[in-house]
């Protein structure tokens, strides 16, 4: 009887072989489902046009110190790109195919992508840094920095004049690359994303950049250039879309008209820039430790902590999605907790920016909080420069364009051109208004 049952059972060798085959089949299916044809273990791509380069900047907060890391990192990135390429007028926008930002991050992204009269990006990253931190002395009460400074006023509905000075009448169409800016529409209680891809299709989704920035920095009611679409917008920086990196990656993978060869995370190179931590400090051992609580947090502090927690969740999810490519195809910059900065003058801003870049990068680990990376934020920026330059050279040699940015089907007079024609005539011309000149027009 035992021999009978033994004969009925399958032999060990075929079972192992079948299990191995099943494992390989399901692994291939899982890889293709999660990451597309470019995932690990999947067949080699037949069409390789390089990686789509994405810049995503978190919503940060209402203080100039909150946006300082992003502005300083981008200024360093641009300076290193100029050194590596030998082009003294290289811009951040030259090395990214799409930029997404929320809150303060949207202001920075829009400034770097705004097209000038000569067709080149109107502002440099150094000028964007100056806009955040301020380039003139005047003390903490009169400067851009601090919770009561002019930068903070942009998030309390007082940024109309500043945004008008910086962007003029330029719209989403007047950018050198696709721009994504999320917010929440209070009328529909649903997310809304301002997108250049939609703006070039119809005036009904084309908004002035100054209105887009106002919508993502606070609460504002904005209309499209033709008046058809109205948005009762609330800040995207304090809600679930405070970290726009996931929205940017999703846009790239599903927008086959502009990014026809992007099928998975191996086809995307992402730089995601966060802000400083406020709810937790990072210990010298690399573990996150709660800050001591002496009083009940204010509603503003609770909102900030919630936004940072959601941003960390997005970061962790993207890191898991990129898997083996995390660190090369997905680079995250995140600083630790920083003290309040006065930013009274340019020297103070430069010192604060240098301190943030010199900090060891803070990494978010799923279910384990934050830990210190082995590299500083500056070292991560420098490593990314090499990748961006390599990608630029790879793209020049490739016969297959992996990016085909939509052009305006029915061109109307470019508001960016009319706003800049009298001030920007050369590639290196600076047209950013200084804080002093902004004061004179208040």
**Can you count the helices (H) and strands (E) in the chain?**
16, 12
pLDDT exceeds 90 at position 169: yes
Instruction: Go through 112-121 and write b for each residue having 16 or more CB atoms within 10 A of its CB, e for each that does not.
Output: bbbbbbbebb
Question: Which residues make Cβ contacts (< 8 Å) with residue 337, sequence separation at least 6?
Answer: 276, 277, 278, 280, 281, 282, 291
Most confident of the ranges 3-12, 211-220, 397-406 = 211-220
Under DSSP, is residue 176 helix (H, G, I), strand (E, B) or coil? coil
Of the listed ranges 120-129, 149-158, 267-276, 326-335, the one predicted with least confidence:
149-158
Q: What pLDDT, on the 0 to 100 scale, is given for residue 218? A: 79
Of the listed ranges 79-83, 174-178, 332-336, the one predicted with least confidence:
332-336
Per residue in 273-304, pLDDT (tens digit) is 987 554 444 444 444 444 445 567 776 666 66
Q: What pLDDT, on the 0 to 100 scale, is given for residue 146? A: 46
The pairing of strands 288-290 and 230-234 is unpaired
Q: What pLDDT, on the 0 to 100 scale, is given for residue 435? A: 41
pLDDT exceeds 70 at position 61: no
Of the listed ranges 3-12, 61-70, 354-363, the one predicted with least confidence:
3-12
Report angle CA 179, 311, 157 to the nearest 5 degrees.
Answer: 60
Please check whether residue 108 is in contact with residue 132, taking contact to mean a CB–CB distance below 8 angstroms. Answer: yes
The H-or-E segment that residue 393 falls in is: helix 377-397
Per residue in 187-209, pLDDT (tens digit) is 888 889 999 999 999 999 999 99
pLDDT exceeds 70 at position 111: yes
Q: What pLDDT, on the 0 to 100 scale, is given for residue 180? A: 96
Q: What pLDDT, on the 0 to 100 scale, is given for residue 30? A: 53
Q: What pLDDT, on the 0 to 100 scale, is given for residue 363? A: 73
Please check whether residue 204 is in contact with residue 222, taking contact to mean a CB–CB distance below 8 angstroms. Answer: no
Tokens at 365, concatenated: 């680990």
Mean pLDDT of 373-399: 89
Q: DSSP labels for 314-374? A: HHHHHHHHHGGGBTTTEEEEEE---------SHHHHHHHHHHHHHSEEEEEETTTEEEEEE
Question: CA separation (Å) from 327 to 49, 118, 129, 273, 307?
Answer: 21, 36, 26, 13, 24
Instruction: Go through 255-271 and write b for each residue having 16 or more CB atoms within 10 A of its CB, e for each that does not.
Output: beebbebbbbbbbbbbb
Under DSSP, is residue 311 helix (H, G, I), strand (E, B) or coil? helix
Task: Estimate to the nearest angstrom the gap between the alpha carbon of 42 and the chain centroid.
Answer: 29
Higher pLDDT, residue 59 or 280: 59
Distance, in Å, from the CA atom of 287 to the CA atom of 5, rounded to the nearest integer, reads 57
Q: What pLDDT, on the 0 to 100 scale, is given for residue 130? A: 84
Q: Which residue has the tokens 């900065």?
A: 341
Under DSSP, is residue 275 helix (H, G, I), strand (E, B) or coil? strand
Q: What pLDDT, on the 0 to 100 scale, is given for residue 91? A: 96
Question: CA separation (Å) from 46 to 24, 37, 49, 324, 400?
Answer: 22, 10, 10, 21, 11
pLDDT, mean over the chain: 74
Higher pLDDT, residue 409 or 56: 56
Of the listed ranges 66-70, 161-165, 420-424, the one predicted with least confidence:
420-424
Tokens at 270, concatenated: 């992402």
pLDDT exceeds 80 at position 134: no
Q: What pLDDT, on the 0 to 100 scale, is given for residue 21? A: 52
pLDDT tier for residue 368 given thresholds of 50, 70 and 90: low
Per residue in 391-413, pLDDT (tens digit) is 998 888 877 777 888 877 655 54
For the chain, the distance separating the N- and C-terminal CA atoms, rounded to the nearest angstrom, is 98
Mean pLDDT of 311-317: 82
């Amino acid at each position: 009887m035992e021999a009978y049952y033994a004969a009925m059972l399958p032999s060990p060798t075929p079972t192992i072989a079948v299990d191995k085959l099943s494992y390989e089949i399901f692994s291939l299916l899982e890889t293709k489902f999660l990451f597309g044809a470019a995932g690990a273990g999947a067949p080699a791509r037949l069409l390789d046009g390089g990686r789509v380069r994405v810049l995503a900047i978190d919503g940060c907060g209402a203080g100039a110190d909150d946006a300082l890391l992003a502005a300083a990192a981008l200024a360093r990135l641009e300076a290193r790109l100029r050194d590596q390429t030998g082009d003294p007028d290289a811009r951040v926008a030259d090395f990214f195919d799409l930029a997404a930002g929320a809150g303060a991050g949207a202001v920075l992204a829009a400034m770097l992508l705004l097209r000038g009269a000569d067709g080149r990006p109107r502002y440099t990253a150094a000028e964007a840094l100056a806009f955040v931190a301020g380039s003139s002395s005047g003390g903490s009460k009169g400067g851009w920095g601090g919770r009561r400074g002019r930068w903070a006023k942009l998030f309390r509905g007082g940024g109309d004049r500043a945004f008008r000075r910086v962007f003029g009448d330029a719209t989403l169409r007047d950018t050198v690359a696709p721009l994504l800016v999320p917010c929440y529409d209070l009328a529909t209680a649903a997310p809304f994303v301002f997108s250049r891809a939609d703006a070039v299709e119809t005036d009904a989704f084309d908004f002035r950049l100054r209105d887009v920035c106002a919508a993502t920095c606070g609460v504002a009611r904005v209309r499209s250039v033709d008046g058809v679409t109205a948005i009762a917008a609330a800040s995207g920086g304090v809600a679930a879309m405070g970290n726009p990196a996931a929205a940017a990656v999703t846009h790239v993978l599903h927008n086959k008209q502009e990014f026809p060869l992007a099928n998975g995370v191996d086809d995307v190179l992402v730089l995601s820039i966060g802000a400083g931590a406020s709810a937790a400090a990072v210990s010298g051992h690399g573990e996150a430790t709660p800050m001591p609580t002496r009083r009940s947090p204010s509603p503003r502090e609770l909102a900030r902590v919630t936004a940072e927690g959601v941003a960390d969740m997005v970061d962790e999810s993207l890191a898991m999605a990129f898997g083996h490519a995390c660190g090369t195809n997905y680079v995250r910059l995140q600083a630790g907790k920083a003290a309040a900065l006065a930013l009274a003058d340019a020297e103070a801003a430069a010192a604060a920016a240098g301190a943030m870049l010199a900090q060891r990068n803070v990494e978010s680990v799923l279910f384990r909080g934050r830990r210190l990376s082995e590299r500083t934020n500056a070292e991560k920026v420098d490593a990314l420069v090499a990748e961006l330059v390599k990608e630029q050279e790879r793209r020049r040699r490739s016969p297959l364009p992996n990016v085909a940015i939509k052009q305006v089907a029915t061109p109307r007079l470019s508001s960016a051109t009319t706003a800049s024609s009298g001030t920007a005539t050369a590639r290196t011309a600076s047209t950013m208004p200084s804080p002093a000149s902004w004061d004179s027009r208040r």
